[in-house]
Amino acid sequence: MDWRVRGLCLSEDPDLFFPIGSINSGPATLQVDEAKSVCRHCPVTRQCLAWAVEMGPVEGIWGGTTEGERRAMPRRTVREQAVKSAA
């Protein structure tokens, strides 16, 4: 089964995971926090994060991270974590 069908985000408004505006201030900050809260309880967060890192620059909140946070992560580390959680 594909990990994406088990994501908690499927029951949420997709716009929640794609904040508009600066994610460092204003309403977008609250939206990012709310999206990350969903991710914290999701059973496929690691797979989602690994996918987003592997795909490269991808907009929105994936695996509980923003695009900027993902850019700062080494790809290898994220892939290794995803493999460990799938085992």
Residue ranges of the annotated binding site are 9, 39, 42, 48
CB-CB contact of 19 with 32 (8 Å): yes
Distance (Å, whole) CA 1 – CA 22 = 36
Which residues are annotated binding-site positions for [4Fe-4S] cluster? 9, 39, 42, 48
